[in-house]
Amino acid sequence: MPSRGRTIARARPPTESASRPLVKRSEVAARIGHVARRIREELDLTLANVAQHAGISPGMLSRLETGHVSPSLETIVALAEALGVRPALLLQEIGDYEGDAQHVPDAGGLEVVRRGTKRGHTYHLLAAQRGPVKVFEPFLVTLTDKSEIFPGFQHAGTEFIYILSGEIRYRHGKSSHLLKAGDALTFRGDIAHGPERLVKVPIRMLSIIIYGGAATD
């Protein structure tokens, strides 16, 4: 508790410039144009058709979509009506920060080699985090060779595996689990674990290692 007679300084709310950078007018126009063009193309509408319904020229609409023209509020409303959406939808990217979403298409993950494994399997890393600290690592694992002997893996954090297809007997410490398609298993990563026997191949499973923000090697 503060002592009596002491003046307590009130925390001032952050100013706009301190909390986030101001968005330039040219950037606002570019973002509105980007959204308008994306919606128009998704609806398979032509420049001429949308411009006619919005009451502007096709050339003006083209310049608006490329961010060379900053639209008035009236133009935004008219354009939204021509596209059949609410005006707020055209403003959805204003003020938003760039996200860190990573889209990995089918079979597009980076193939990595896990220590001790040799053949008949692949580990595809589905997301690569930026920065010095790992929070999680998601893998798509494919196992095809029944004859391979796997070592006991150990790592920091918690691991979650989900069987997509096939059947596997998976060991964690002293416990052995028979896992089939649709089964999941969550366990501590610092206890020795790994495939004990590939019962029905090919086996495809998701393996997600959650480090919890701890620094890793």
How does pLDDT run across 50-61, given as a tens digit for each residue?
999 999 999 999
Report pLDDT for 14: 42
Q: How many domains would you assign to the chain? A: 2
CATH number at residue 78: 1.10.260.40
Report pLDDT for 119: 54
Shared domain for 118 and 72, answered yes or no, is no
Please give the model's pTM, rounded to 2 decimal places: 0.51
Q: Give the CA angle between residues 16, 130, 153 to the nearest 5°.
A: 145
From 28, 59, 90, give the residue that closes a domain: 90
> Who contacts 167 (Cβ-Cβ below 8 Å, separation ≥6)?
178, 179, 180, 181, 199, 200, 203
pLDDT tens readout for residues 71-97:
899 999 999 999 988 888 888 766 555
* Residue pair 189/156 in contact by the 8 Å Cβ criterion: yes
* Residue that the structure tokens 């101001």 belong to: 22
- The distance from CA 62 to its chain's CA centroid, rounded to whole angstroms, is 31
**Alpha-carbon distance values, 121 to 26, 101, 205 (Å):** 50, 27, 11
Report pLDDT for 109: 54
Shared domain for 165 and 132, answered yes or no, is yes
CATH number at residue 117: 2.60.120.10
Shared domain for 62 and 126, answered yes or no, is no
Residue 100 lies in a domain: no
- Domain of residue 57 covers 20-90
Looking from the CA of 155 toward its CB, the CA atoms found within 13 Å total 22
* Residue pair 189/155 in contact by the 8 Å Cβ criterion: yes
* Residue pair 206/161 in contact by the 8 Å Cβ criterion: yes
- The distance from CA 86 to its chain's CA centroid, rounded to whole angstroms, is 27
Query: How many Å apart are CA 92 and CA 149, to the nearest integer?
Result: 52
Largest CA distance in the chain: 79
Report pLDDT for 189: 92
Tokens of 127: 């997301």
Shared domain for 76 and 122, answered yes or no, is no
Mean pLDDT of all residues in 194-205? 93
Residue 10 lies in a domain: no
Shared domain for 121 and 201, answered yes or no, is yes
Residue 99 lies in a domain: no
Higher per-residue confidence, 106 vs 146: 146
* Residue pair 173/192 in contact by the 8 Å Cβ criterion: yes
* Residue pair 172/197 in contact by the 8 Å Cβ criterion: no
